[in-house]
Structure 1
């Protein structure tokens, strides 16, 4: 009798490699070109590409953890699958080769990731060169040349903002944007353009099909899941179908196109935008308290779900105002950050929009850093010389609320000038002011 026959059954019955789970968590098929993310999850490369192109989100579809860099194919796992499960792997590979859209999606994904890496590397080099030049200027001219550079940069930005506003004034005030038009009044061309806004994949593959079937706003308002299959075909990838169907349902629920960027939000809610910019810049804690009391569903709830996310809340739920109340864990993460460093929350929220507004998001991040430094210097000064009174607190509250009630009386052109100056010029001025205060403290 052999030694294996003398062993108990639970020691001899070992699981084989074929019994292990090598399925992709997105398509639930065998992993093809498995790509490992920072969180450790493995996905088919074409599934990851479709997920990214569907919403431009650099997060894991399974755990929603953000991933950085350009994810590569896990060659060890791929070799393992080819060696021990070659027949099933080859069969799945040949099946996917029949769909040319998958190869296009992977190529587009790799192209965007490469561009992003090159842009990030170039930005780091520019910042490094500017930092070295700034140090050299301070050493040679005692900071005089550096101050002149900042002044010149502010003047140039001011001139650029005024030129941009003048051009915008003559071209219209944004009233022709699709967000200002009910869905049922959209034309066939507007529906096709709206479909194309969901990504390059939607513009190339589905916008023309909606236009070919003459789908206008009235038909879009009553479109169902079965109708979508008749328009775009039954071979639509599940990720694409989920994104398109979710967007159509949100538009049907709201009756209008929800704003998807800063400019559309400003066109729909001009007063709220000005109030947000002023309040978040000068009184962030009071601002979030006001949002919790008076704008909970539309503003506060989406914000807290973005800065303290949970797995069961999607972007479609936030856009359709169907998000659940924050959990106890979200409050425990949100409140300490709001009290100690509110600009960190704003920076986290801004980072999520980096792919939509790259320059604007970077300037907002700079403003968050400079405002945090200013607040730290103010706390240090208050700690050494306490000067807190009821008049000071009332002044802060009144200073936040007065602009909200006065903005309807101010001409729109003046409001736009103030808005763009605050967003694009003020971060540079604030950063230079922090430098001057830091040098004065030294």
Structure 2
């Protein structure tokens, strides 16, 4: 006995259909004409017999016979889906019907929502951490402003009002100098008398890398702010690179001064910062924006003084912060010098020699020249006769961070 040959389906089929659809499952077999017994077709669903098919067709010729059986299936309920099998003698064909999800784009919608949520999260992180990232990048890869001959990082101009003084001296100055290491030049004078920069202003601003103006209500009462602020702004732009203007939020909303409108129009030329109620916190955006507007600060480990001076290898002892010069002691031998005949002659302040005689006289140094002739200088001593001539009352306010003058040691024979 030759078993029937299955013509359709060629393999087990899996169909994904929507709920409420209708489908006809077709199963076709072929067998030899020599077989006298006609095969009988039947269908099962999930192993349960369904009985005779709804439609069967026979075909034959001299050599073979064909049988096509069709099962009509209405998919109106979830129970109508399953595994349908067609049985013809010992030949079997399987149809697997699966329900199509009602929301076919659920996965795509979920993926889109996840991407949108990620973008919102990144946008929030950017808004919150943008200044910190920019400040980190600037401090790591920003342009260095050294060896430019500047003595200060910023020139701070403010009004003489008590509130402005407190803001500058007790908030801005301690924060920038103690926390960030900047050096500030504070000035409460009118920087543009008669709408023209004074000689002192030009000199002082030229020694600073940035210009900061505390633009309070008291500051706007100056003549140049009321009469010619536009011209004064152009003068400041000529003197300093992108000046920084600080305004107070409480006054910023109430001020109708044309200077504020002018600064808003030229935001690309100036930096306009608003001091808000939460700006007192050291980690607030105000300080980050201010540091971004200021030059990149360079810190050298193991060195003291301004990097400009250190890189130029200026050996002036006045540039050493912990110099032993101020450790003034009296002459250990007031009656005469009993030291080594080859001991170098100490030179006091202003180039005057100590009054103790030496067995072997050394070449006398000219007044105003400092140093020693034979070897490296030990800690200098100041005689008791010269103590009254030394004025050290302003040593604490002097700036020895950077010097541009130079010194040369000569003797009388060299002249």
Relative to the length of structure 1, the TM-score reads 0.19
- Of the two structures, which has the highest relative contact order with CA contacts closer than 8 Å and spacing of 6 or more? 1
Q: Which has the higher strand share?
A: 2
Q: Which has the higher helix share?
A: 1
Relative to the length of structure 2, the TM-score reads 0.20
